[in-house]
Amino acid sequence: MIVTVTLNPALDLTYTVDALVPHGTHRVSAVAERPGGKGLNVAGVLAQLGEPVVATGLLGGSTGARISDLLAGHGITAAFVPIAGETRRTVAVADGDDATGFWEPGPLVSAHEWTAFLDRFRALVGAGDVVALSGSLPPGVPADGYATLIRLAADAGAQTVLDTSGEALRHGLAARPDLAKPNAAELAELFPAEPAEPAEPAEPRAAGVAGAAGAAGASAAAAAGVLACGARAVVVSRGPLGLLASDAGGVWEAAPPERLAGNPTGAGDACVAALARGLRDRTPWPELLADAVALSAAAVAAPVAGSVDLDTYHRLLRALPPRT
């Protein structure tokens, strides 16, 4: 079973207006509501693929209740822990040209609520499960919150995929997740200067490498830095350049065979969905990266985050023979 963790979910609202007029009053012609937050995007993609998935995390208030209702409509099993605070909203105002975003701050989580979540997590996660840990930590959750969850999952015999940034990523890596999925910006934040050469540099396996010395050189070095921080494997998402994976056994790359126009929000979450499924199924790196590239691109082709365009996914999978 795959378990997605969303500690700071959101109700994502999209308002359609004719044109954005600062200091004007706008009658919104259409309102779209969806469960938001990176972990819920991962769960949405897995549910769309027909994979069993349980979404857990923290939800509060009437906004949290609305998210629960929407998840039920998407066929996602929800196992959230209630909190006293109101779950946040995000509002995106789409005017035909582009969108203007407003992000509410997350609610404050009490120490008692965090303890209740840890209890729920222990009860939920078992041997053979894969846990995807995605997104920011809300105020009140300790900076090493993901590290604690990674250790609990390992104790239970489950694997973990970590997709976060900043301090939460730094602390999480030290707990040795099975896979970390930073993007280029998150890597740059983690290693503001060029990362030091890791103590045990991963040795590229020639068969799996394409151009590791070229454009991928910097990413490969940063990926090695992530391994040195504690991750057992790392996949760096690089937008249209595709994915670079690294573990103790080598480095692999895969790139989309074509450039897709669309909405890149949620592409990283679709990538995590593919990686979590691949970890569960012990899929070899070449097949796994091809799948993750195709699913990420299919998310770009879908209009909203948390879903993929299945036609694009299957078309790209056929065009992306795994490099073996």
CA-CA distance, 33 to 116, in Å (whole number)?
Answer: 28
Q: Which of 269, 281, 309, 311 is catalytic?
A: 269
17, 228, 241, 260: which one binds its own copies (CB under 8 A): 17
Q: Give yes or no: 12 in active site.
A: no
Q: Is residue 116 near its own copies by the rule CB under 8 A? A: no
Q: Which is nearer to its own copies, 60 or 256 (CB)?
A: 60
69, 119, 194, 258: which one binds its own copies (CB under 8 A): 69
According to DSSP, the β-strands at 250-254 and 243-247 are: antiparallel
Helix (H) or strand (E) segment spanning residue 221: helix 216-229
Helix (H) or strand (E) segment spanning residue 134: strand 130-134
- What is the nearest approach in angstroms of its own copies to the Cβ of residue 308? 23
Binding to its own copies (CB under 8 A) within 199-238 occurs at none
Pick the piece of the chain touching its own copies (CB under 8 A) from 59-67, 139-147, 178-186, 292-300. Answer: 59-67
Which of 121-127's residues contact partners 24+ apart within 8 Å by CB, and which partners?
A: 121/5, 121/56, 121/149, 121/152, 122/152, 122/156, 124/3, 124/54, 124/56, 124/79, 125/3, 125/152, 125/153, 125/156, 125/158, 126/1, 126/156, 126/157, 126/158, 127/156, 127/157, 127/158
77, 100, 148, 263: which one binds its own copies (CB under 8 A): 100
Q: Is residue 99 near its own copies by the rule CB under 8 A? A: yes
Q: Is residue 105 near its own copies by the rule CB under 8 A? A: yes
- What is the nearest approach in angstroms of its own copies to the Cβ of residue 18? 12
Q: Is residue 311 near its own copies by the rule CB under 8 A? A: no
Q: Is residue 285 near its own copies by the rule CB under 8 A? A: no
- What is the nearest approach in angstroms of its own copies to the Cβ of residue 61? 7
Of 245, 224, 226, give the one whose Cα is nearest residue 290: 245
Q: Is residue 263 near its own copies by the rule CB under 8 A? A: no
Q: Is residue 91 near its own copies by the rule CB under 8 A? A: yes
Of 156, 144, 154, give the one whose Cα is nearest residue 176: 154
- What is the nearest approach in angstroms of its own copies to the Cβ of residue 44? 19
Of 82, 129, 71, 65, give the one whose Cα is nearest residue 306: 71
Q: Is residue 31 near its own copies by the rule CB under 8 A? A: yes
Contacts of 103 (CB under 8 A, 6+ apart): 10, 88, 90
Residues with a catalytic annotation lie at 269
Name the residues that contact its own copies, by CB under 8 A.
Answer: 13, 15, 17, 20-29, 31, 61-63, 65-66, 69, 89, 91, 93, 97-105
